[in-house]
Structure 1
């Protein structure tokens, strides 16, 4: 008897599962018809599904929409009126019915139904969210806001601030949207990341953008009435988006004063400013940390950045700064990163690679992990490439590549293998490494790999015919070794080889642009700015739609603006980026600087 009972149960379960699968298949078919605009075919299936599951609001909504698309408004009206009579508690149906009246251009009747739906929320209606969403689905956004607001009034523990803010965003009412987001955060600080993510859809790095201005006003207004850390955090975040790092620093200092043990956010701000070459703010951040922190580790890390800033700004006191730090913190495992930075400085700034190698070999004795060891060996490899001992450099790079195959350091080492092979003129081996790196997890390495790979395949010799790539690689190596005069001489040789002009090094060709761009950068380094602009202009003259065009325009503009102190000429090239290169990564910066110059002229 029990055996027969379980058999019946199993039969019923299998039958239910089969029926459910049939319903799902029918629903997907109906959806396909719906998306393709075949509403009559979709109607037949939705009608069947709805009859089988009359409480499924998705089936009902789709069925109603299909009827409305075929202008069967009376059928919809009868369906909904009868349904409301049978289930008066399902007050979201009034929204459907009201919209159907609106489709029939019976706006007064529609308004009555909408009001009934809103009024039903008074009784803490379980369909409140369904009502509000129905209004949103029909783009009746003001009614949707009313529904959420009434729900919060009826139930003070409910919070639909996020939904309300989203609706204001759909309406384009950014001020009310931001105020709603700020109110939401005011009610619970856990919403901070949610508010930042939501606001980031509208915020740009342009401080004059309308959304940026309205967001700042909303935060400031709230901060006046109810001071909180969250308002400083939001303002700092906004200023960072706008690259106004000094203003962000003001907010971070205010936060630090309330919690004078945590310097992590100021450190992060300093790193961001440093990467964006805003060395003044970066220096202020790290100097602040040095003065305020009591942790030796934080002091060393901040001082490392101060040294990097000194190098980047060509501070003549850099060597003394290194000496001071090693006297203060010693040469030991805690200062490995400082030792590596010092070796880099000695090699690439002071042309003293022998001492750099000595320092790095000693640093290896302090390393306590394979990652620290890899960072030191990476720099050792760089130094050996600098002095032309390529095989020694490749040994170090290959060791790291093997030991940390899928790690970022391993991928960086593999790129250096490719770059060194390129310098040597071994283009086939370089390409083999770069092919793998095009899918690197680190975007910067992947981008560098793609750039070098394309440079090689676009310009490599064919059938032993000179292309100039080997000579260009030599010029790039000389530039890497800070042998700028020799690099410029190699470039001049390139332009003097007649066979190269015949076979590739001609105006408009990739190699022609690359050579001129390298020449311009070398002139910049030697502060020969007019010569640099001549080289850059030749690139544009040859092809003003080339892959380097926006880089060239920006470099010319920056040179005129900051090196030659000629803002009028700079404005001309910023304007070219704005109007001729709308997808350029320099667009926002060019627009901001263009406005600033234009404002100075007006004043």
Structure 2
């Protein structure tokens, strides 16, 4: 037994060494190992193929042919040897004997269709795609129980025959619904990794043909998926509604998911239509309440000055309809948030949240109430009370992302109150947060504190920046801008200057002062070329030129600089897409 284990280990080691040398292009050393492996395993086509490849790379075609002809005299040698022989002829531009050898490989499939996969894959490995297709199809024709559609679709894709590829994949989805997600991933490579729109246009055409000729809702599902990838949420919603109407047991999951995606992506009109549809069709109150909660978020986003009382009245109507219970906690929390931050009545919001805390509910609903209560207390600058709630949440949800959010808010609240040492200690822990967003925010705030704390023992610049940050949190943007103006005037050249410029630029955009925003971004780009905020400044200024100032030519060099100098930036994918559009490329 020990001898067998030793022999197996040696064979595995030789196999690994052979592959390493072959990949490195050291064909003489690879030949040494493959020759030994082939002698010990004469029916292993991988070893025979490796040995033949070494001969070919060393331009010893006659030796390769002699080896293959000798092997083909063995009884039961796999038909892949004929493919190797034919390919050896092709390398010497000998087409007639190559075709003869390939025909013998195909004849083996006709005699025994179980060879179809080996032969088809053998042709594919040599990039003989038409021959591979013929082998796979021949096997399926002779033995209908065989199904090589997955392999065929991939080969059609390699050939660039997109329509045939899509149709083959779609036929397979009908037969093997469990492969749908894998097939979508494969299709996605052709839809979204190529800058051409051709892949998506062909796929859309094929799906529309299926929708018109076949009532299977899977075609609508795939159309919806395609439109979501293209961010065409209105078209996706049309498909989701069609799916809902055609299903024997309709459910609203697809429309709910699409509504949330559209909401997160800022397409509030589509999100509103989706959630309105849900409120009209949902049978259970929980689903309707969730939809109404999103509709109220959209209502708030669209609100104009002077509408606070109307919106609060709409909240009241909904709560009167569905009751104040654990089921409507999310709606009540949203109402409290609006009351505090928009209607400017934080005292009443705090009172209502404290009353909700006494109601029976699950731990996550209670956590949502407690988090909102603490957030409003920060708004009121009641920092110590807020810290109590945040600290409780941090302990109660220690291994949950919400516990990490609470810890970050502990740090931020400590930052607001000027306790920079404690804030920094909390942020050190959060740098390794499982949430990338929290980790990034924690790292940026920690760097801000550590860079500025040692410059001034009184922390005057840091305190002013913290004050501006708090004013922005309190929706007092104009006051925040004024504080930053003062900071930039009195602390010019200190480390906080770049953060202050970026924050003021963002606030200025919110206030509609685009000229000031443009100037600040320009200052960061010009005066802080090695700054961690440089990619933010480049991207934000480019978007400002594109979406607000209608000066695309000014955006172009900024995007180009971001692409070439900051390939690791989170803005890189969108910057590249927008740059290609400006350059006139066909972009999906």
The runs of 5 or more residues in structure 2 that have no matched partner are: none
Instruction: Note closer, same or farther for the CA distance 1:205–1:477 as it changes in structure 2 (3 Å cut).
Output: farther
Q: Distance in 2 between matches of 1:448 and 1:150?
A: 59
Between stretches 263-272 and 512-521, larger displacement belongs to 512-521
Cross-structure match for 2:476: 483
Alignment of 1:135-534 (within 5 A): 135-204=123-192, 209-259=197-247, 261-314=250-303, 316=307, 317-462=310-455, 464=457, 468-497=461-490, 500-504=491-495, 511-534=496-519
Native 8 Å contact 2:377 2:383 kept in 1: yes
Of residues 465-474 and 97-106 in structure 1, the stretch that sits farther from structure 2 once superposed is 465-474
How far off its partner does 1:548 sit?
Answer: 4.2
Give the stretch that moved more between structures: 261-270 or 114-123.
114-123
Taking structure 1 as reference, are residues 588 and 246 closer, same or farther at Cα in structure 2, changes over 3 Å only? farther
Cα distance between partner residues in 1 of 2:188 and 2:530: 32
Which residue of the partner structure matches residue 51 of structure 2?
Answer: 63
Pair 1:262–1:331, CA change in 2 (3 A): same
TM-score (norm 1): 0.88
Contact 1:239–1:247 under 8 Å retained in 2: yes
User: Where do residues 27-42 of structure 1 align in structure 2 (5 Å cutoff)?
Assistant: 27-42=15-30
**Displacement over 4 Å in runs of 4+:** 205-208, 543-563, 591-596
1:201-226 per-residue CA deviation (whole Å, 9 max, x = no partner) reads 23239997222222212222232332
Residue 89 of structure 1 and its aligned partner are, at CA, apart by 5.7
- The CA distance in 2 between the partners of 1:17 and 1:531, in whole Å, is 74
| Residues 39-58 of structure 1: CA deviation (Å, up to 9, x unaligned) | 22222222222212212222
SS in 1 for 2:283: coil
Task: Report the Cα offset of residue 236 of structure 1.
Answer: 0.5
Q: Any conservation in 2 of the 1:182–1:218 contact (CA below 8 Å)? A: no
Aligned residues: 573
Structure 1 residues 362 and 462: CA distance shift in structure 2, 3 A:
same
Aligned equivalent of 1:120: 108
**Higher RCO, Cα 8 Å, sep 6+:** 2
Please provide the CA RMSD for this pair.
2.7
> How do 1:47-126 and structure 2 match up within 5 A?
47-87=35-75, 90-126=78-114
- Matched residue, 1:508: none
Following the alignment from structure 1 to structure 2, what is the Cα–Cα distance between the partners of residues 593 and 390? 48
Secondary structure in 2 matching 1:388: coil
Q: Equivalent residue of 1:85, what SS?
A: coil
Shift of residue 108, structure 1, vs aligned partner:
1.8
Q: Distance in 2 between matches of 1:503 and 1:578?
A: 28
2:21 & 2:513 partners in 1: Cα distance? 68
Q: Check 1:152–1:301 CA distance in 2 against 1; reply closer, same or farther (3 A cut).
A: same
CA contact (8 A) 1:26 1:45 kept: yes
Q: 1:25 to 1:541 in 2, by over 3 A?
A: closer
What is the TM-score with the length of structure 2 in the denominator?
A: 0.90
Shift of 1:424: 2.3
